[in-house]
Structure 1
Amino acid sequence: MTPLSARHRRTTLAIATAVAAGALLATGLTGGVAAAQATASPSGTAAQPLTATPVALSTAARSSLVKDAQAAAPETARQIGLGNQEKLLVKDVVQDADGTVHTRYERTYAGLPVLGGDLIVHEKAGKAESVTRATKATIKVASLTPQIAASKAEKQAVTAAKAAGSAQTSADSAPRKVIWAGDGTPVLAYETVVGGLQDDGTPNELHVITDAATGKKLHEYQGIETGTGTGKTLYSGTVTLGTNLSGSTYQLYDTTRGGHKTYNLARGTSGTGTLFTNTTNVFGTGTASSSSTDQTAAADAAYGAQATWDFYKNTFGRNGIKNNGVGAYSRVHYGSSYVNAFWSDSCFCMTYGDGSGNTHPLTSLDVAGHEMSHGVTAATANLTYSGESGGLNEATSDIFGTGVEFATNNASDPGDYLIGEKININGNGTPLRYMDKPSKDGASADYWSSTVGNKDVHYSSGVANHFFYLLAEGSGAKTINGVSYNSPTYNGSTVTGIGRAKALQIWYKALTTYMTSTTNYKGARTATLSAASALYGSTSTEYNAVAAAWTAVNVN
C-alpha cells in the first residue's frame, strides 16, 4: 500500500493503475510493425520493420491463437516439465513478424491459482525454444489443508488496510486459497482483498497474502494504481473526437476504437455514471468549470483515450488494452476535489478526479496515457504493484504516457519527458516527475540501490524512467521541444541515445514477451537486453546502448 507520506507529497496523484490495472489501447490484423512509426526523437531515427516486432492480430486471429494454445496447454505443461497437479491457462499471445509466438500463461496447482507462477513460452515453427518464468522454484506443497482459519487471514488484511488509512472495515469477499510463489519456497496461502476507500478517497483494493500454515503475512500490494465530433479541451485545445449520433443526440461514444464511452459520475464514487450526450456534436468549452456536469473534462478524457488507443495501434500494432479489440470506458467528475486519477482492471475503466477546487481535472494527455497503460501492463507482465516490480510497473506507465504525448504531436501539449506538467498538481507550475533526472522531484531515485524497492513505487520508478531517457536521448545537456534537460549518470559515463522510437520498441517487447509478475530491476535489464537482441541483434548498437544505459543507472 502506498505510504501516507508519499501519497501526501504527490497530493495523491501518484499517476497509477489498478488491481491488475492501468493502461491504454490499440487496434488489429492489419499486418505488422507499426512500432517504428513513432515520431523520431532528435537523437535518433525510426527503425525499419524488424522480424522480431509483433504483428497486429485481428480479434479472430488472436482468438484462434489463444484457443490453439489452450488446447495444447496440457502437452506444453508436460514439455516444460510441470508437475501432474499443475495446469496452464493462456492469458495472452503475441506473434512476431518472423512467426515466433510468445504465449503467456497463468498457472494453477491442484486447482488453486499460483500467484507468481506466470510464465512465457517462446515458440518458433511449432517448437518451444525457451521459457521465461516468474519463479524457478518447483511448485509443490505438502498439504492443501490450511492450519489457520480464513477469518484470521481476513482480520490480518483488514488490520493492514486500516493501518494504511483505509475507511473499510471488512474484506470484499472471503479469503481464497492460493499457492504463493512470489518469493522463496511456494506455500499454501490465503489471498484477502480489502475494498472501501484509501485515505485520500481513492478506491481500495489491498491484496494481502497470508501463510495458511503459520498465519504470517507474506506479501501485500495495492490493486488500484493511481497517478494522475469536436472537443474543446482544457489541456489539448480544440480536437476531433469520435462520437456517435443516436437519434438526434450526439454521444461521447467512439465506435471506431473498441466502443470507448465517456461517463459522468457527477461527484459520485461508484457505478458507471451517465453517458455524456449533447444536442450538437461539440463537447466542452475549453475552460475549467467546477460544475459536476461540465463537458470539458469529458472532452479531455475522451481525447486521451483515443490518443492512447492510436499510440498502441500505430506504434506496436496492439488492438486495445488487452489486445482483443475491446475498448475501456472513462469516468470523470469522480468525488469532490479529488486530486488523482486511476485505472481499475475490475471495471476495465479509467477514472479522473477534478483536482483542487474541482477546477483542475487530472485529464491531461500524459496522465491518460499513463493510467491506461497500467491496463496494458496488467494484461501482459502484470508486474506486482510493490517493491521493484511496482517501480517498473509505474515506470512503464510513465514511459508509454510519454510515448502517447510525443506520438499525438499536439501543439497545445507537445511531447516532453516531464510527467503531469500540465495539471500543476504541485501548485507552483512544476511537473510531478522528471525522467531525465528523477530526483528533481525531491523523492524519486536516479539510480538503483539495494533499498530502492522500499520506496513508494512512484519514486522507485525513477530508476527505470532515467534508464529510458538515457536510452532514448542520451546523457548530458540538451533541449527537446523547447524543454531543457541535463541527465547525469551513476558512473560518470557518456551515454549516446538510440532515439525514442527504438527505445519504445525495446521496452514494449520486453514487457510483453520477457517480463513476468516478479521482474525486478536486474530482471528488467535482462528482459530489455533480450528484447534488443531479438529486434536488432546481440552485437548491435542498440543492444550495447541498453547495457550502457542500465549501467549508467547502477543496474548491472
Structure 2
Amino acid sequence: MNTYGSFVSELENYSIPTTELTGSFNEWFSLDAKHTFELVKEYTDALGINHQSYQHLFDGHKIDGEFILVHSKNNIVQVVNGQISQFKELNTTASVTDEDAIAASVRHFGIENATINAVENVIAKIPVEGNAQLVFIKKITLSSAFPLKSMVLYIDAQSGAVINEYSKIKHADVQGTGTTYYRNTQPITVDSYNGQYRLKDTGRNIHTLNGTNINGINNGVFTGTSEYTSSSTTFNSVSARPAVEVHWGMGKTYDYYKNIHNRNSFDGNGAIVRNYYNAGAIMGTDSNAGAIDQPDFIVGMVYGSGEAGFMTPVVGLDVAGHEYFSLSNFRSDNGDLTYQGESGALNESFADIFGTAIEFYTNLSPNWTVGEDVFTPSPGYMRSMSAPKSGSAMYGLQQPDTYKGTYWASTTSPVDDGGVHINSGVGNHWFYLLSVGGSGTNDINNQYNVTGISIQKAEKIAYRTLNMLTPNAQYIDAYNASRIAAADLYGANSNELKQVGEAWWAVGIGDRSAAVSENEFNNNISVYPNPTIDKIFTINVGLSEATTFEIYNILGKKIRNSVSLEEGQNTINVSEVQAGIYLLKFNVNGKSFSKKLIIKIIIRLIYLSESRFNAGFYHK
C-alpha cells in the first residue's frame, strides 16, 4: 500500500457475501467508530458485475476522493479496491470562517469577479514530496470567463493558508492533435437554419460555433458567438475549414464512444456537446485547446486557431477525442481524476489513449504519435506513444517510458501541475505495448517481451479500468484496476490478463508475476485448512527449488517477512495475527505467485446447567 492508501484484494474464491463485507468495513480495515462509509453509487454492468462505491468519512467529513469500490457477482464479492486512510486522530474543527476562506481564495485566484461555488469542509490528501498528508480543509472552486480560468483551491481550515490548487480546465497544450485539417473533405451532419445551413448535428446533439467574439456567459453558454453557415449542405469556405474539422471530429468521437463503449455523449445521458473554435482570446493563447465542465458556469470545449511557425489550428480528430474524454471523465462514476501529480498524468494518458483509439476506429491514417501536423517544429509531433522519449527537447516534450525513469517529472512541482502531461508517457507506452507488443529493457533494467492483444481489446480494458479508479488514483491503482478489468473481460487465466501484467512490467510498474499464470504453481503448493480456525495451517510444497513466502494484509502491508519452506509439509503458526483475509506471497527461483488465507475466530458459547448453576455459581 502506498502513502495514498491504494489497495486491491481479489476475493472471488472465498464466497464472501457482499453484505458481510460492506457491513463490516471498520473491522476489515481496523478502523474505529469515527470512520464511517456512505454508499454513493451502485450499478450492474453488461457482464453482470455489480459495482458499489463507498465514500470514506471521518468524524462526519468526507476524505476527499477516497472510496472503497466493491465488485460482486450474484451477491458474492469478487474484488475490492480503492484507497483507504488508517488513522485515529485528526483535528476537524475549523478556525477559519467560510467568508475568510473565500476572501483568501479570491486573492489567490487573482480575479475579483470570479464565480465561486459553495465552500465544502473536507479532509484532503496534500501531496508532499511523493507522500500524502491528511489536512482538514475548506475546498472552493473558482471560475472566470475572461480570462477562461477555473481552479480548485484547498484552504487550511486552521491557518487559512492556500495549501494546494489544481486546474479544472484540461488543456491540450502538450498533447496537441493528430488533426484532420489536411484530410480533405469529410462527411458531416448539419441542419437547416434561417434559409441556410449551420454546423449543428441534432441527432448527436453537437453544435460547433465561432468563438472569435465571445463576450460573456449566460446559463452555462458563451455569449457573443456566431454560427458557421453555408448556402448549401457543403461547407467549402477556407475560413470555416478548422471549424468543420472540429465538427467532423466530434461526430466521429461521439460515434466511437456510443458504438464501442455504449456511452451516449460525454455524460452518458445525451448532453449537448458545444465546440467553440477560434477562442484564443479567452484562453490567453491561440496555440491550445481545452475542456471545462462547471455546470453552474460553463460546459464545453474551446479551440485555438494556432500560431505561425509553431502550431496550425488546434483542431482534429485526436483533439476532439482528447477534449471529449476530459468532459467524460468529469462525469465518471467515482469522480474526475484529480488534475495533479500521478492522478493528473493518468487523466492525460487516458485522454491520449482514447484520442488515439478514435483515430484507429475512424481508420484514416491512424498512428501512434500525438499532435502530428498541428505541431510544426521537429520532430513534427508532440508525443509518441511508441517512443515517449523522442519528443522535442527544445520544448520540453520528452517523456518517460518507465515509471520514475528518465524524464520523469516531479509530481509536487507547480510546473505542469506536477508533470501531468510529461508523466502521461508511462501510461501511453503501456497502452501501446498492450496493443501492438514489443520487447526490450526499460530504465530500471526490467527485461520484457509483450505480445500485443490488439487495440480493440486494449481499449476495452482501458475503458473498464478508468471506471474503477478513484479521484486520487496513482499508477499502481491503474495497474491493479487494469488487471481486474482484463480478468472480468477475458478470464482469470487469459492471455489478455497475462499481457496486461507484462506491459506494466515493461513500464516499470507491478510484479512480473502478475503476467504469469498461477496454474504452473497450483499442482505443487497447497495451503490447508483454508479458512483456518485455530491460526495454524499447513503449506505443502512439492518443489525441490528453494521456496519462501511472506504474509500481507488486505491493504497490501507486509505483516510477516520472508520465511523459507522445506519440501513437504510445513506447519505455520500465526497466533499473533488477527482474524481476517490475508495474502500469502510465494517466491520460487524469482517467480512469484499468491494465495489467499482466511483466518477465522471460533466463538464458543458455554451453557451452564441449572444444577451446576445452583451448585456453586450463584448464591442467594
Structure-2-length-normalised TM-score: 0.65
Question: How far does the alpha carbon of each residue in 1:213-266 deviate from its partner, in whole angstroms, 9 at most, with x for none?
Answer: 2345443211111004xxx97333211112222463323211221x11111112
Shift of 1:498: 1.4
Q: Distance in 2 between matches of 1:548 and 1:541?
A: 10
* Structure number with higher helix proportion: 1
Paired residue secondary structure (1:225): strand
Bigger shift: 503-512 or 95-104? 95-104
Contact 1:233 1:299 in 2 (8 A): no
Is 1:265 aligned to residue 229 of structure 2?
no
Paired residue secondary structure (1:543): helix
Q: Determine which of 114, 120, 125 is the counterpart of 1:182.
A: 125
Q: Distance in 1 between matches of 2:302 and 2:20?
A: 42
Structure 2 letter corresponding to 1:236 = R
Q: Determine which of 448, 458, 482 is the counterpart of 2:403.
A: 448
Q: Distance in 2 between matches of 1:516 and 1:124?
A: 21
Is 1:509 aligned to residue 474 of structure 2?
no
Is 1:474 aligned to residue 437 of structure 2?
yes
Q: What residue is the counterpart of 2:203 in the other structure?
A: 256
Question: How far does the alpha carbon of each residue in 1:100-150 deviate from its partner, in whole angstroms, 9 at most, with x for none?
Answer: 23245667778866521344342433566554334344798654x411244
Q: Distance in 2 between matches of 1:373 and 1:266?
A: 24
- In 2 relative to 1, CA 217–243 (structure 1 residues): closer, same or farther, beyond 3 Å? same
Q: What residue is the counterpart of 1:320 in the other structure?
A: 265
Paired residue secondary structure (1:458): coil
Paired residue secondary structure (1:494): strand
- In 2 relative to 1, CA 355–80 (structure 1 residues): closer, same or farther, beyond 3 Å? same
Paired residue secondary structure (1:148): coil
Paired residue secondary structure (2:330): helix
Q: Which runs of 5+ in 1 are unaligned?
A: 1-73, 162-166, 288-293, 478-485
Q: Distance in 1 between matches of 2:196 and 2:402?
A: 53
Structure 2 letter corresponding to 1:239 = Q
Q: Determine which of 317, 323, 326 is the counterpart of 1:374.
A: 326
Contact 1:251 1:275 in 2 (8 A): yes
Structure-1-length-normalised TM-score: 0.72
Paired residue secondary structure (2:499): helix
Q: What residue is the counterpart of 1:533 in the other structure?
A: 487
- The structure having more radius of gyration, on CA atoms, is 2
Q: Distance in 1 between matches of 2:54 and 2:215?
A: 34
Q: Distance in 2 between matches of 1:181 and 1:131?
A: 22
Q: What residue is the counterpart of 1:355 in the other structure?
A: 306
Contact 1:309 1:320 in 2 (8 A): yes
Q: What residue is the counterpart of 2:388 in the other structure?
A: 438
Contact 1:529 1:543 in 2 (8 A): yes
Q: What residue is the counterpart of 1:117 in the other structure?
A: 66
Q: Distance in 2 between matches of 1:108 and 1:276?
A: 49
Q: Determine which of 214, 239, 252 is the counterpart of 1:307.
A: 252
Is 1:420 aligned to residue 371 of structure 2?
yes
Shift of 1:387: 0.5
Q: What residue is the counterpart of 1:5 in the other structure?
A: none
Paired residue secondary structure (2:329): helix
Contact 2:311 2:374 in 1 (8 A): no
Q: What residue is the counterpart of 1:462 in the other structure?
A: 425
How do 1:84-95 and structure 2 match up within 5 A? 87-90=38-41, 95=44
Paired residue secondary structure (2:303): strand
Q: Distance in 1 between matches of 2:357 and 2:191?
A: 28
Higher relative contact order (CA 8 A, sep 6+): 1
Paired residue secondary structure (1:234): coil
Shift of 1:492: 3.6
Contact 1:383 1:393 in 2 (8 A): yes
Question: How far does the alpha carbon of each residue in 1:247-297 deviate from its partner, in whole angstroms, 9 at most, with x for none?
Answer: 63323211221x111111124365422333332112243x4xxxxxx3212
Contact 1:475 1:489 in 2 (8 A): no
Contact 2:71 2:79 in 1 (8 A): yes
Contact 1:194 1:205 in 2 (8 A): yes
Contact 1:489 1:552 in 2 (8 A): no
Aligned residues: 448
Q: Determine which of 220, 225, 234 is the counterpart of 1:282.
A: 234
- In 2 relative to 1, CA 541–202 (structure 1 residues): closer, same or farther, beyond 3 Å? farther
- In 2 relative to 1, CA 550–233 (structure 1 residues): closer, same or farther, beyond 3 Å? closer
Contact 2:387 2:401 in 1 (8 A): yes
Question: How far does the alpha carbon of each residue in 1:515-543 deviate from its partner, in whole angstroms, 9 at most, with x for none?
Answer: 11111011111111111111112222111
Q: What residue is the counterpart of 2:337 in the other structure?
A: 383
Q: What residue is the counterpart of 1:43 in the other structure?
A: none
Q: What residue is the counterpart of 1:173 in the other structure?
A: 116
Shift of 1:462: 0.7
Shift of 1:490: 5.0
Q: Distance in 1 between matches of 2:345 and 2:88?
A: 27
Q: Distance in 1 between matches of 2:474 and 2:159?
A: 27
Paired residue secondary structure (1:282): coil
Q: What residue is the counterpart of 1:209 in the other structure?
A: 154
Is 1:522 aligned to residue 476 of structure 2?
yes
Structure 2 letter corresponding to 1:329 = R
Shift of 1:359: 8.6
Contact 1:437 1:488 in 2 (8 A): no
Shift of 1:471: 1.1
Bigger shift: 355-364 or 108-117? 108-117
How do 1:8-19 and structure 2 match up within 5 A? none
Question: How far does the alpha carbon of each residue in 1:63-117 deviate from its partner, in whole angstroms, 9 at most, with x for none?
Answer: xxxxxxxxxxx99975756979764443xx6543332232456677788665213
Q: Distance in 2 between matches of 1:193 and 1:111?
A: 22
Q: What residue is the counterpart of 1:96 in the other structure?
A: 45
Contact 1:398 1:465 in 2 (8 A): yes
Bigger shift: 443-452 or 148-157? 148-157
Is 1:193 aligned to residue 138 of structure 2?
no
Paired residue secondary structure (2:149): coil
* Structure number with higher strand proportion: 2
Q: Which runs of 5+ in 2 are unaligned?
A: 1-18, 27-32, 127-131, 413-417, 511-620
Shift of 1:459: 0.1
Contact 2:180 2:315 in 1 (8 A): no
Q: What residue is the counterpart of 1:395 in the other structure?
A: 349
Contact 1:109 1:139 in 2 (8 A): no
- In 2 relative to 1, CA 310–175 (structure 1 residues): closer, same or farther, beyond 3 Å? closer
Shift of 1:379: 1.7
Paired residue secondary structure (1:436): coil
Structure 2 letter corresponding to 1:176 = V
Paired residue secondary structure (1:133): strand
Paired residue secondary structure (2:487): helix
Q: Distance in 2 between matches of 1:139 and 1:341?
A: 44
Paired residue secondary structure (2:111): coil
- In 2 relative to 1, CA 135–211 (structure 1 residues): closer, same or farther, beyond 3 Å? farther
- In 2 relative to 1, CA 96–192 (structure 1 residues): closer, same or farther, beyond 3 Å? closer
Shift of 1:432: 0.9
Paired residue secondary structure (2:326): helix
Q: Distance in 2 between matches of 1:274 and 1:89?
A: 41
Contact 1:354 1:360 in 2 (8 A): yes
Shift of 1:373: 0.7
Bigger shift: 458-467 or 528-537? 528-537
- In 2 relative to 1, CA 547–127 (structure 1 residues): closer, same or farther, beyond 3 Å? closer
- In 2 relative to 1, CA 447–416 (structure 1 residues): closer, same or farther, beyond 3 Å? same
How do 1:16-35 and structure 2 match up within 5 A? none
Is 1:132 aligned to residue 81 of structure 2?
yes
Question: How far does the alpha carbon of each residue in 1:377-413 deviate from its partner, in whole angstroms, 9 at most, with x for none?
Answer: 2222511110111100000000000001110112xxx
Q: What residue is the counterpart of 2:508 in the other structure?
A: 554
What percent of counterpart residues are identical?
28
Q: Distance in 1 between matches of 2:449 and 2:76?
A: 42
Contact 1:207 1:220 in 2 (8 A): yes
